[in-house]
Chains A and B, each alone.
Chain A
Amino acid sequence: MLDRLQELHGEAAGKIEEANTLDELQQVRVAYLGKKGPITEVMKSMGKLSKEERPVVGQKVNEVRQDLQQLIERKEAVLEQEAVSEQLKKESIDVTLPGRPVKKGSRHPLTSVVERIEDVFTGMGFQVAEGPEVETDYYNFESLNLPKHHPARDMQDTFFITSDLLLRTQTSPVQVRTMEKHEGRGPVKIVCPGKVYRRDEDDATHSHQFMQIEGLVVDEGIRMSDLKGIFEAFVKSYFGEDRKIRLRPSFFPFTEPSAELDISCALCGGEGCRTCKGTGWIEVLGAGMVHPNVLEMGGFDPEKYSGFAFGMGVERFAMLKYGIDDIRHFYTNDARFLEQFTRE
């Protein structure tokens, strides 16, 4: 009987070894260790044995069973491992296929420029003011020291609605509107972005609608040197630390003295190139000390208060920043244009 057990053990161990799948292994388990298996048979026939033989055979039976159990478990682990490997192999993918993009829209470049400029100035203690696009002649011209029939008032430039209402030609009207709200008390520190309109034929460099950002600082003791300081801070923050600024005298009816602000050309580093027309400088904004008439019309005493104002073209900033060569792109809303600004 012991021989038989030994034989069964060998036989079963061989089959366990040969099993290729978990199913086959299960069959081996049932065949040898099951209730109807040969080992159970042996156990059942143990009654025929003598008292002396019985424990010996019994022990052997348990040994064989345990051993086979162990072999099966080990084999099972191996087969499971193989099955997992097989499964993983099947699940292998081409990781170079494109991923599923996260849907993302874009900010219009004009908005990007406005927001960046707003951020620079709000960081310097400015507030953002807004004003109507349909303005009165008073705020757009008269309060800015441009009485009717003033030569600097180019009538051809303005979209009039009535003799007194017009589409604002500049964001400057917000200057006086804001000063009025302050009721003659400083400080006033605002920037004001917005759309403006002029009677220009639309072409690569002209647009009948465009955007400006106006700035105004009014307080006691504001000097022209402060204007330089604020600009230097702005230019370095917006265009980069290595940019230089230059002020040139200019003329605006609502400022005196007036200035144009140039920044050193980024493309050629000031050597002179096509972008800067060989001058090494790029004109970016107009500015000046607020004209006493304007202060007065805004309700501020020009003997006590002074201030500076500035205005810049948003399209121009965007064109410089992104290298855009045609102003009409801003208003065509071509997806091939807009999508490029997804990361901005």
Chain B
Amino acid sequence: MLISYQWLSNYVDITDITPQQLADELTLHGVEVDAVEELGAEVNKLTVGKVLSCEQHPDADKLKVCRVDVAEEEPLQIVCGAPNVAEGQLVAVARVGGRLPGGVKIKKAKLRGQRSEGMICSLQELGFEGKVIPKKYSEGIFAFPENREPGTDAKEALGLNDTVLELDLTPNRSDCLSVLGTAYEIAAVLGREVTLPEAPVTVSEKKASEIVKVTVEDKDANPYYGAGMIQGVTIKESPLWLQTVLMASGVRPLNNVVDVTNYVLLEYGQPLHAFDFDRFGSDEVVVRKAYAEEKMVTLDGEERLLSDSHLVITNGNEPTALAGVMGGAASEVENDTSNLLLEAAYFNPSVVRQAQRDLGIRSDSSIRFEKGVDPNGVVPAGRRAASLIQQLAGGEVLDETAEFDELDRSEKVIRITLGRINSSLGTDLSAENVLSIMDRLQFKAEEEEGEFIIHVPTRRQDISIEPDIVEEVARLYGYDNIPVTLPNTPSTQGGLSEKQKQKRKIRRFLESGGLHEAVSYSLTTKEKEAAFIGAEQRRVAVALPMSEERSTLRTTLVPHLLDALSHNRNRNRYNLSLYEMGSVFHTEEENVSVQPQEQTHLAGAFMGLWEQHAWQGEKKAVDFFVVKGIVEGILAELQAVAGFEKTEKPGLHPGRTASVVADGEEVGWIGQLHPSTAKQWSLPETYVFELNLMKLLESGGDEMRYRPIPRYPAVDRDIALVVDHKVSARELEAVIRETGGELLTRADVFDLYEGEHVEAGKKSVAFSLRYLNTEKTLTEEEVTLVHSQVLKALEEKTGAVLRTQ
């Protein structure tokens, strides 16, 4: 909402406060002022000039040489390129030495050989925005529509000494969508009075109610409709004061009648509509719901397809306006209009909101009706408009507006105690303090047996319950004056839950392992996931995606991590390890109707070198076991018991993929990207893992306990076993552990060899075994006994033989 400071000052005394100070006061008390714009800040030396003559430039087709009287001894010679400059016009002249917006400095100049001593300005050049400039002046210079003395200050005449406050209103403060409403707010904040505008009307003998009949079919949607009549008006350009104040408020002037309805809309916050009564099509106004698929052309020239939830003003036959939103083209006020039907009505907010939403129109009118206008402001606004129209367009205002009236204009009454106010705010206000604040707000209030009875004016539709009064008291008392305390609650045990702590622990583990944490979008596409998760997987899709790229919720974290690797690789970053912890979304339903399962997953993606020390020539590329080590580390951090099983999965290398299995259930996987998947992302050899963290957090182990340090020495035996290629390390380890029994405390793989020194189809796997008896020193014989049993079992169960070489 743009509010002219000068306009505002008609209703509340703000002469002693600068626009900036006013903006600060408003902001601190709840009406945020986003910007304070001094309109003519960059304009100076602007004078009214009269074009005495206007001749073709001898050497330029598009230029004219004008002699302009600025009440100095000699008229100025000014070269002007505007097509509409003409002899006799009163124009705005930027004088030599003056300035215009955009850093323009006016200097003496020669244009194609002709002297030019100033500039005749267009409204654009003076800083008005194109969309508010009247059509008449949009293609050339501005000419004063009324008499002005040459040589006088044109800046003042054009309203350029004004300042505009841009209000950023919260949805509840629609009362400030008007100059008067804002004046009430300022009056409350500054403790001043509001002077209401006068609306003198000379009423004729004739009665509108005898000429036009008003019928309202839906009184909930339209509890009040007033049709005033003004006959014999003359449509013309509005006086400059009206045009400049509208432009300052962001509205384009059109003609005197429409400008008045817009002016009153801004002034009272009450939208009005003037119909050309001769084009209205009948002498009855019927307000009804539109028929299904009924059509009408609104005054922006668009044909609108209506439904039975929309309210229309009709002439008994066809719609003449979309109630509260926009008038119809057929009965629009035009230059030859003479008789007006002036509508002042109250339309139900939800009806207007519905039309606004369905038809995609937001007009100055609809944004006010949808919030609820002041029921007590409708009639005064109509009267104010009639008065101004009479003043500016002449004509006869008829007596007795034709009306339908079932509007509830009563004020809400709220009862609240002083104790309630103070205990809500933590303040120690007296009854007098509260009553004085109510007085400033112009809320009638009395105190009765310790309770305030407050009558809320209908202009404040946002106030309906006790806390609303508490807020009014608080904001006028000043939020800054509320004391600073801490809650008197019993002390509570704050902190993270076990699962939250575990999640942090994993983050720390991965960070210290050299992974960078990524955060990516939850919205993705089915196609992006297709490499890993089949199309048959059901997904949660948003109803109206903003783009195809963000249309379904992810079911895996990996694709976006691959996007991230790819993004970095395209920027010459070849070695990178990323992880992400975030939600994935699964549904069992074909058409989602209940909340999907949201599970926290943890995923990682790795490309290039895992470790390197360049000048020492050390390099270690990431491989399956690097990633497995990380996953094992995560499992250890969580004390989760899980194993790895060879598997095959879409998108992954068939020989280099493992499931992570806990309690017989897959809780995640590790693998190398299938070369064709890698290619799809333009990635080199890349490894990924993904874990269902929720499952792992649930499977977490016991609390840590200390185990005594062994008092007796251990005995180590290393063995290299030659076995068939297909025998896994885990099978060997299982046999070793099973046979080694309690004495065997460790069995670690320390070497793997396949090649010329081992028979084809076989491999050599070396284990380091440690035997220990925690009770006593092991004897050589004891070790040899159990060790030979281990070797025997290995041979029997896996065919492993000791490598002799």
Contacts and interface: CB of A to CB of B under 8 A. Distances in A.
Contacts of A105: 510-517, 577, 579
B533 interface: no
A221 B490 CA distance: 11
A115 B500 CA distance: 11
B468 A256 contact: yes
A234 B786 CA distance: 64
Given A103-B513, A257-B474, A152 B487 contact: no
Interface in A261-311: 289, 291-292, 306
Contacts of B504: 115
B426 A224 contact: yes
Given A225-B425, A250-B170, A125 B32 contact: no
Contact-residue bracket for chain B? 35 or more
A249 B424 contact: no
Contacts of A229: 484-487
A270 to B, nearest CB: 14
A125 B494 contact: yes
Given A224-B426, A256-B465, A339 B593 contact: no
B518 A187 contact: no
Q: Is the interface of A mostly helix, strand, loop or mixed?
A: mixed
A108 B585 CA distance: 22
Contact of A162 (B494, B592, B613): B592
Nearest to A187: B489
A203 to B, nearest CB: 13
B364 to A, nearest CB: 16
A125 B493 contact: yes
B741 interface: no
Interface string A124-160: 1111100011111000000000000101100100011
Contact of A335 (B500, B546, B568): B568
A57 interface: no
Interface in B591-634: 592-596, 598, 611, 613, 615-616
B592 A334 contact: no
B172 interface: yes
B514 A103 contact: yes
Nearest to B473: A257
B578 A121 contact: no
Contacts of B427: 225
Contacts of B465: 256, 292
B800 to A, nearest CB: 36
Contacts of B170: 250-251, 258
A107 B511 contact: yes
Nearest to A152: B171
A149 B479 contact: no
A228 interface: yes
B550 interface: yes
A118 interface: yes
Q: Which of B486, B494, B550 has the most chain A CB atoms closer than 10 A to its own CB?
A: B494
B496 A122 contact: yes
Contact of A189 (B494, B515, B545): B494
Interface stretch (A20-28, A35-43, A194-202): A194-202
B426 A226 contact: yes
Nearest to A308: B487
A247 B479 CA distance: 6
B124 to A, nearest CB: 27
A333 B564 contact: yes
A108 B500 contact: no
A225 B482 contact: yes
A338 interface: yes
A48 interface: no
A232 B487 CA distance: 13
Contact of B595 (A118, A165, A251, A331): A165
Interface string A180-196: 00000011010000010
Interface in A236-257: 246-251, 256-257
A26 to B, nearest CB: 38
B577 A125 contact: no
Given A121-B494, A333-B567, A249 B471 contact: yes
Contacts of A336: 571, 573
Q: Give the interface centre of A228, A335, A338 by most chain B CB atoms within 10 Å.
A: A335
B541 interface: yes
Contacts of A199: 546
B297 to A, nearest CB: 26
A222 interface: yes
Contacts of A201: 546
A256 B467 contact: yes
Contact of B490 (A155, A187, A209, A217): A187
A323 interface: no
Contact of A209 (B510, B523, B540, B585): B523
Contacts of B515: 105
Interface string A316-344: 00000000000000111111101100000
Contacts of B544: 159-160
Contact of B540 (A97, A125, A151, A161): A161
A292 B30 CA distance: 21
A98 interface: yes
Interface string B483-527: 111111111111111001000100100111111111111110000
A155 B490 CA distance: 41
A5 B611 CA distance: 69
Contacts of B30: 248-250
A298 to B, nearest CB: 16
Nearest to A154: B171
A336 B350 CA distance: 51
A161 B519 contact: no
Contact of B517 (A98, A108, A165): A108
**For A134, A186, A250, A338, which residue has the most chain B Cβ atoms within 10 angstroms?**
A134
A209 B479 contact: no
Given A222-B489, A249-B471, A289-B467, A151 B173 contact: no
Interface of A: 97-98, 100, 103-108, 110-111, 115, 118, 121-128, 132-136, 149, 151-152, 155, 159-162, 164-165, 167, 186-187, 189, 195, 197, 199, 201, 208-209, 217, 219, 221-226, 228-230, 232-233, 246-251, 256-259, 289, 291-292, 306, 330-336, 338-339
5 contacts: A100-B613, A133-B585, A167-B542, A208-B550, A249-B29
Interface of B: 27-30, 32, 170-173, 349-350, 353-354, 357, 370-371, 423-427, 465-468, 470-471, 474-475, 479-480, 482-497, 500, 504, 507, 510-523, 540-546, 550, 553, 561, 564, 567-568, 571, 573, 576-579, 582-583, 585, 592-596, 598, 611, 613, 615-616
Given A165-B593, A209-B523, A225-B484, 14 more contacts: A100-B616, A104-B512, A107-B517, A133-B583, A135-B595, A159-B523, A159-B542, A167-B553, A195-B583, A225-B483, A246-B480, A251-B172, A289-B470, A331-B521
Across the A-B interface, give the 8 residue pairs with the lowest CB-CB distance, nearest first.
A225-B426, A249-B30, A251-B170, A257-B471, A223-B426, A103-B514, A333-B564, A256-B467
